[in-house]
Amino acid sequence: MSTETTTSLPPAEDEVPAVAPFYEELSERIDWLIRLRWLAVVGTLGAIVLADWRLPGVLPMVPLVGVVGFVALYNLVFYLFSAEFRYFRGRPAKLRSSPLFAHVQILLDLLSLTVLLHYSGGVENPFALYYVFHVVIASILLPPVASFTYAGLAIFLYGGMVLLEYAGLVPHINLVGVVGPDRYRRETYLVATVFALGTTLFFAVAMASTIASRLRRREQQLLEAGIAAAHRAEEMAELNVKLRELDDFRNRFTMIVTHELRAPVAAIQSYIKLILEGFVPPERQQEILERAEDVIDRGANMVMVDVLTAGFSALEVLSRGVKVPVHVHRTMHGAFTRDKSHGISMVPISRLVRMAGGTNLHTGSYLGKMAGDREENDDCRDALRDGWYGLRPVFPVASGGVHPGKVRPNLEGYGIDCIVQAGGGVHGHPWGTTAGATAMVQAVEAWRAGISTEEYAKSHKELEAALKFWSR
């Protein structure tokens, strides 16, 4: 039962002990027994009416209807008690009282059945077999010892009724027109009937108790297996979380090593080669153009050059010699742009790229893995786009760790005339590359519409999935 405080639930108590499954099962079957008893009340009344119609004046209607009314009355009390029992079912004290509740019901049922048999023919009544039904119910609800005890009690009640009628201590009601008037006084018949009923009851209890005990043991085994499986599932979930964390760490480490180490090493090698061979001699210029034209002939609609390793003269050669945009990377810039005490900032580099004819230039992002100083980003943006001696403006490029959740800050910084470049932010979408590209477009649409990215994601599933994935 929930331990939250509400107006409809009682305060929580201690946890239910480990034996609770037996009590829970017993309380549920008690509800079933109460419902079954209502059917018995209706069926018994119907049988009494039918018997009176077939044997008018033979049966004492008032005592019979009175017994049935008594059964209905105590079943109503049981029903009300059961309703309260269900309300407090999660409490240990209530659960432990369920066996007593079952004992009281079975005892009253056996007594009521005996009185009904007495007023409807006693030993002549074939419905004495209903004792079997009651002891089988006891076997289902209670342990074997209690079940055999109730079988013995049923024989005692039935045998006592037969003996009292035989001795004349209580009046015998003969089913006139059905059996002879002296059957209840035939000793052999009485002994055989009681013996047959007794053996039937004990055999029924033995079989029902054996089956019920096996089912309870199997249920307990399943419960223990379920608890063990739940614990194992929790352990596996914890291990899975740790593995995912390790996998994320490995991916981040690989990405950082790949980007931060390989590119500078390549840049250093290029610089050494440029120093030894000179800055783009005529034959080198021709080779650069031939390579660019080769990739354009193969379908390329843009070429890229690392301006700090190839040199500004190589960029100028490309921008003048090809008819497609020239995407300008800035590999190795951190070696002399990040330290505030010496070096050169990205602002003059931006102006040199613009002078050399570049189309786009990586200038750093406002939010992302390569995020730089906001003031420097603003200066680079203005250096690339402000009116400056009639030179063509250049698109600033925001890149490095950018995904749909980081689009807005970069658009707010650079404005609409920029390039937001996302590789992993597109291909890494949990639904695939197409969904990743769609999510990027939706992030731009949200910014242009003046709607927060989170609000816009509520009606755009690709963006929603991206935000959820990269917010882990």
Measured distance CA(472)–CA(453) in Å, rounded:
17
Chunk the chain into consecutive blocks of 10 residues (it has 472) and report each block's average pLDDT, rounded to whole numbers: 37 41 64 86 88 83 90 88 63 61 87 90 85 84 84 90 89 77 81 87 84 77 80 86 85 69 60 51 81 91 90 88 92 80 85 93 86 86 92 92 92 92 93 95 95 95 95 80
pLDDT tens, position by position, 388-426: 999 999 999 998 889 999 999 999 999 999 999 999 999
CB 188 within 8 Å of CB 181: no
Give the Cβ contact number of residue 100 at 10 Å. 9
Give the Cβ contact number of residue 312 at 10 Å. 20
Torsion over CA of 457, 463, 466 and 471, rounded to 10 degrees?
-30
Tokens read off for 285 = 């210029």
Grouping H, G, I as helix, E, B as strand and the rest as coil, residue 326 is: strand
**What single string gives the DSSP state of each residue in 249-309?**
HHHHHHHHHIIIIIHHHHHHHHHHHHHHH-S--HHHHHHHHHHHHHHHHTT-S-EEEEHHH
Residues in the chain: 472
Short-list 240, 248, 313, 326, CA closest to 281: 313
Distant-in-sequence, close-in-space partners of 369: CB < 8 Å, separation ≥ 6: 400, 401, 402
Predicted confidence at residue 218, as pLDDT, reads 79
Cα dihedral 437, 442, 445, 446 sign: negative
pLDDT tens, position by position, 229-272: 888 888 888 888 888 888 888 877 777 666 655 655 665 566 55
Grouping H, G, I as helix, E, B as strand and the rest as coil, residue 423 is: coil
CATH number of 279-422, picked from 3.10.450.40, 3.20.20.110, 3.20.20.330, 2.102.10.10: 3.20.20.110
Measured distance CA(382)–CA(385) in Å, rounded:
5
CB 68 within 8 Å of CB 61: no
Q: Which residues of 200-214 are buried (b: 16+ CB within 10 A; e: fewer)?
A: bbbebbeebbeebee
Short-list 150, 134, 154, 144, CA closest to 212: 144
Measured distance CA(366)–CA(375) in Å, rounded:
10
Measured distance CA(75)–CA(69) in Å, rounded:
10
Q: What does the domain layout of the chain look like in residue ranges?
A: 20-237, 279-422
Tokens read off for 228 = 């063990």
Strands 395-398 and 303-306: unpaired
Residue 395's DSSP bridge partners are: 360
Distant-in-sequence, close-in-space partners of 255: CB < 8 Å, separation ≥ 6: 424
CB 59 within 8 Å of CB 82: no
Give the ranges where 56-184 is alpha helix by DSSP (H): 61-87, 92-96, 98-119, 130-141, 144-167
Short-list 406, 415, 310, 400, CA closest to 356: 310
Residue 361's DSSP bridge partners are: 328, 396
Measured distance CA(171)–CA(151) in Å, rounded:
26
